[in-house]
């Protein structure tokens, strides 16, 4: 009788274990390839040919390596990538994925792994603006902070890449200060996540466990307090 109860208990636990209907985690581990949708998002994701470097790129490569795989980067517009993720054509999507993305109703989104800071800064010697009305503010092309600057009636100058010769700039704190600009004010704090295919709960859980284990290292690399 005890043996029967043990078997029943183990079966119940097995039923409660997270599963991947499309077997994403198993496929990644067996096939050795993790398909990641990516959009440039310095200093988190920077394109180098077909490869990616940066804080988030290193994170995803480490996760793949721990599962015996390498990353195949698929570059493109984020909306296109989310559609592919929804159809299980990608394993995850990275690059400025907000924890509050509207796509969270159609794909899975990890718990936030980092709260990043976007700042306004000036070139050394330039008088900081008291407000952004009619002020030209340079940003990396594709950075969503442009919408906030326009909301404050600033003139957005989109560049690829952002250089060191602009009077007023906005962007990720680590990136901007690394270019030698002087901090003016914090514009936004945003919780960053990664997105995975819907319903692939074993893969999502493995990724979230990994992100939790790397939390302090990620925060330090991004110049944020862990």
Q: What is the band of 9 on the pLDDT scale with cuts at 50, 70, 90?
A: very low
Determine the pLDDT at residue 13.
Answer: 41
Q: Around Cβ 175, how many Cβ atoms within 10 Å?
A: 26
What average pLDDT is seen over the chain? 90
Q: What backbone torsions phi and psi does residue 203 show, to the nearest 5 degrees?
A: -65, -45
Q: Within 13 Å of residue 8, how many CA atoms lie on the same side as its CB?
A: 5
Q: Which H or E run includes 158? A: strand 155-159
Q: What is the pLDDT of residues 142-195, one digit of tens each?
A: 788 999 999 999 999 999 889 999 999 999 998 899 999 999 999 999 899 999
Report all structural domains of the chain as residue ranges with CATH numbers, in order of start.
20-113+193-221 (3.40.190.10), 116-190 (3.40.190.10)
Q: Report pTM.
A: 0.80
């Amino acid at each position: 009788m005890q043996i029967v109860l043990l078997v029943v208990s183990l079966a119940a636990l097995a039923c409660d274990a997270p599963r991947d209907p499309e077997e994403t985690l198993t496929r990644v581990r067996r096939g050795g390839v993790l398909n990641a949708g990516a959009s440039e998002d310095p200093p988190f994701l920077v394109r180098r040919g077909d490869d990616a470097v940066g804080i988030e790129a290193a994170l995803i490569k480490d996760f793949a390596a721990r599962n015996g795989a390498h990353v195949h980067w698929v570059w493109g517009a984020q909306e296109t990538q989310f559609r592919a993720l929804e159809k299980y054509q990608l394993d995850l999507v990275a690059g400025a994925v907000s924890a509050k993305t509207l796509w969270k109703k159609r794909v899975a989104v990890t718990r936030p792994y980092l709260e990043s800071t976007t700042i306004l800064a000036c070139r050394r010697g330039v008088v900081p603006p008291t407000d952004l009305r009619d002020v030209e503010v340079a940003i990396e092309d594709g950075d969503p902070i442009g919408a906030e600057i326009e909301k404050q009636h600033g003139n957005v100058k989109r560049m690829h890449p952002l250089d060191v010769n602009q009077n007023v700039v906005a962007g990720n704190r680590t990136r901007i200060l690394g270019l030698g600009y002087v901090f003016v004010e914090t514009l936004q704090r945003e919780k960053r996540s990664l997105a995975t295919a819907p319903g692939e709960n074993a893969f999502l859980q493995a990724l979230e466990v990994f992100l939790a284990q790397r939390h302090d290292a990620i925060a330090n690399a991004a110049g944020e307090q862990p």
